[in-house]
Structures are given as C-alpha cells and as structure tokens.
Amino acid sequence: MSIVTVQLGQCGNQIGFEVFDALFIDSHCPQRLSSKRENEAYQASCKERFFSEEENGVPIARAVLVDMEPKVINQTLSKAAQSGRWKYGQHSSFCQKQGSGNNWAYGYSVHGPRHEESIRNLIQKEVEKCDSLSGFFIIMSMAGGTGSGLGAFVTQNLQDQYSNSLKMNQIIWPYGTGEVIVQNYNSVLTLSHLYRSSDALLVHENDAVHKICAKLMNIKQISFSDINQVLAHQLGSVFQPTYSAEGSFHYRRNPLGIDWQIRPPLPGLPNLSKMSLNKELHFNTSIANLLILRGKDVHSADLEGFKDPALYTSWLEPVNAFNVWRTQRAFSKYEKSAALVSNSQFLVKPLDMIVGKAWNMFASKAYVHQYTKFGIEEEDFLDSFALLEQVVASYCTL
C-alpha cells in the first residue's frame, strides 16, 4: 500500500527531501543481521510505499511539491536529481511567484481556492499511480503562510475528496522565540482547521529537535539541514516497513494503520477530578503509545515499563493503549533502534503557550488587519481560540 506525500512551503519541501532521502538510504543500507530474503522484502515494501518505478531504474518519490514561490522547489528538485539515488517526478510540482507573505489568510483564502484545481490534479495523478492507496502524508509548518494556510486548505480538500483514506499531517512546531512574528496566529488558525479535517497530527517541535542536535549530537553550529535530518531520521524509523501481527514474513500492509481512535469515557463512569497543569507529573499521561523496535533482540526486549498504568489515563487499560511493532531488519546503520509515537499530554504546555500568546496579541488587535484583508474575520479567530481551548482542557483532564 502506498503513501502519497504532499510537501508544502519551504519547510515542507526541505523536510520532505530529507525524509525521502533517509528512507531510500535506509532501504539500501547493507544489512548484516537480516537474511537476504528479509532484506529484499523490506526494500520492496519500502519501495511500494514511497517510490514509483521509472524507466531507467531511478525511483521517483510519490510526492507532490507545492510552494507559492519558486526558490525552494527548484532547490529541492535539483538536490534530489543530483543525488542520483532517486528523484522527484518531472511534473509533480506546483509553484507560484509571490509567496504567501507569512499570511495564513492569504495561503488559505487566496492561494487555496485559486490553485485548488491544479493542486488537486497533481495529487490525483500521484494517487492513480498507486496500486492501492493507504493515505496521505502532508508535511507543513505552522508558522509561515503557505505550509500553514494552504496546507490547511489542501487537507480540507483531501478530506472531501478522499474521505476513506487516512490523512496524517506532519506539523513543524516553530521555535518559541520567533521565526515569524505572527507565528502564533498562524499556528492557532492552522491547528483549529486541521483538527476538523485531519486524522492525525504528528508534531515535531523545532526547539526539541534543536536540543537533540545540541545536547545529544553535539553539533556546534546547527543548521536547518541538521535539524531536518534528525527529523527525517525519526520519521523514517516510524514509517519504514514493520512486520504485521500475523507473522514475521509479511510486512504490515497499511503503514499508517496506527489506531488513533480515542475512546473518551462513557457517561456513567465516576467523575474524574481535573488535573491542573501545575501538578507535578513524572510522565505526561498518555492515551495511546506505539513503540516501534527494529534490529537485534527485538523479541527479547523488556517492555514492562511501557505498560505501567501510571502512564495512562485512568479510563484506559494499558493493554488497550500500548502497542508494539517489532522488526528484525535494522534501521540504517543502527544495530538496535526504538521509536515511540505517543498521543499524550506532552503538547499541552506548548499548545497552551501558543494560544496564550496569540490571545494576548489578538486582544490588542495587532496584525489583525493583515488577516481581515483576505477574508479571515475576528469571529474566525474566536472560533479557532475556542476550539483549541477545548483541546487543551480535554487533554488536561486525562
């Protein structure tokens, strides 16, 4: 089953390139620990998910590149072509000249409708190349104008057109201290819209990844390239083929088949006391955790710690909330690796902060004229705030 990736804006395209590169390099990484047959099955599965075949043997990424100004797409296309390993489709990109000016309203209300058809056609062409479509992986940032605004619009479109396919958005959470001054407005608008049309939001915070580069990898002068590579590495270890539950010889067919369903408590259960944000928590309470193990000794790993009820909300049994996928084929050059995908309270504080800052700015009406100019009114802001406050509250009561 295949995944169609949509890369939006500068961030989306820069990361998208690194992701495909990481996936390709991993799948062609020489493996000493797995059998030849295992390795070939892995490669084939990876290929089917992310690449389509080309005549002269260079795989083409199953991706659509969208940006409202040309520089980044041009760069991304040439980087891929120059690598000689894989490339993007010749007609898979859509760009304009003027950019979105960091304006969510411009990305959503102007670029969205204006280019709806063209982008839809590009995505459809990519979908038609797939034997069976598993879903969409949409890479975007929240802080800018194209990834955020146009990204929200495109996701909504995909929801309408492909309501049976999974849509997962990879969102880049901006640095706390500004990359863009109106990033909080853009983030609030993006999240509230995605909540209505996306199936899953996979979040990476720039601050967190930056810390990884600084503290764990000891990189002295960290560039966005470094950050994107770490990100791609994490994503690769999640999305590469994993064994399905049935047996060790078949790779899971649906790569995005993570059970994201949240089952809230049924009415009639005892009222749970609210947990305040300030409470001393050793772990963020989780609703669902997925652990992906790759490499040596995956079957003998001790995972009891993940089943501790203290990690999970009181209305869930750990057995329902915790899943583990084990694959013997190692990831890249790592003998053993583990990736954890978690639906928990870890984002409550950052989300709360963004909503708080955006609210403060909104109260003074600063920059609002830039949004109303393009059809996003104050009520739209208020709707978005209300929705996100609810999300924060819901997570807090876990």
Partner 1 sequence: MVTVRRSALAQPCDGKLFPEPGEVLSYGSDLRQRRDLRSPRPLGELRLCARGIQRRRGFISALSGQRCSMTQSVIVQVGQCGNQIGCCFWDLALREHAAVNQKGIYDEAISSFFRNVDTRVVGDGGSISKGKICSLKARAVLIDMEEGVVNEILQGPLRDVFDSKQLITDISGSGNNWAVGHKVFGSRYQEEILEKLRKSAEHCDCLQCFFVIHSMGGGTGSGLGTYLLKVLEDEFPEVYRFVTSVYPSGEDDVITSPYNSILAMKELNEHADCVLPIDNQSLFDIISKIDLVVNSGKLGTTIKPKSLVTSSAGTFKKWQEKPFDAMNNIVANLLLSLTSSARFEGSLNMDLNEISMNLVPFPQLHYLVSSLTPLYTLADVNVPPRRLDQMFSDAFSKDHQLIRADPKHSLYLACALMVRGNVQISDLRRNIERLKPSLQFVSWNQEGWKTSLCSVPPVGHSHSLLALANNTCVKPTFVELRERFLRLYKKKAHLHHYLQIEGMEESCFTEAESSLSALIREYNQLDATKSMPVEDLPRLSVAV
Query: According to CB under 8 A, which residues from 88 to 127 bind partner 1?
Result: 90-103, 108-110, 113-115, 117-118
Among 323, 332, 342, 397, binds partner 1 (CB under 8 A): 397
Residues binding partner 1: number (CB under 8 A): 83
275 sits near partner 1 (criterion: CB under 8 A): no
Q: Which residue has the tokens 């902060």?
A: 353
Query: Please, what's the largest Cα pairwise distance for the chain?
Result: 64
For residue 176, the minimal CB distance to partner 1 (Å) is: 7
Query: According to CB under 8 A, which residues from 353 to 372 bind partner 1?
Result: 355-357, 359-361, 363-370, 372
215 sits near partner 1 (criterion: CB under 8 A): no
315 sits near partner 1 (criterion: CB under 8 A): no
- For 369, the enclosing helix (H) or strand (E) is helix 368-372
Among 47, 62, 87, 193, binds partner 1 (CB under 8 A): 193
Among 64, 72, 123, 339, binds partner 1 (CB under 8 A): 72
216 sits near partner 1 (criterion: CB under 8 A): no
C-alpha span between 136 and 162 (Å, rounded)? 9
Would you mind telling me the total number of residues written for the chain in this entry? Answer: 398
70 sits near partner 1 (criterion: CB under 8 A): yes
Sheet holding 2-8, edge to edge: 93-95, 63-67, 2-8, 133-141, 166-173, 200-205
Write the CB contacts of 29 (distance below 8 Å, at least 6 apart in sequence): 332, 333
Q: Is 161 in contact with 23 (CB distance < 8 Å)? A: no
Of 161-169, 243-251, 291-299, 386-394, which segment contacts partner 1 by CB under 8 A?
A: 386-394
196 sits near partner 1 (criterion: CB under 8 A): yes
Which CB, 224 or 306, lies closer to partner 1? 224
Within 13 A of 136's CA, how many CA atoms are on the CB side? 29
- Let me know how many helices (H) and strands (E) the chain has, helices first: 13, 11
262 sits near partner 1 (criterion: CB under 8 A): no
Among 19, 138, 182, 235, binds partner 1 (CB under 8 A): 182
Among 164, 225, 271, 278, binds partner 1 (CB under 8 A): 225
Among 33, 214, 217, 269, binds partner 1 (CB under 8 A): 214
Of 55-63, 69-77, 297-305, 306-314, which segment contacts partner 1 by CB under 8 A?
A: 69-77
Write the CB contacts of 103 (distance below 8 Å, at least 6 apart in sequence): 145, 149, 182, 370, 371, 374
Q: What residues pair up with 344 in beta bridges, in sequence order? A: 286
For residue 194, the minimal CB distance to partner 1 (Å) is: 12
Query: According to CB under 8 A, which residues from 161 to 180 bind partner 1?
Result: 175-180
C-alpha span between 34 and 237 (Å, rounded)? 16
Helix %, strand %, coil % of the chain (to 5): 45, 20, 35
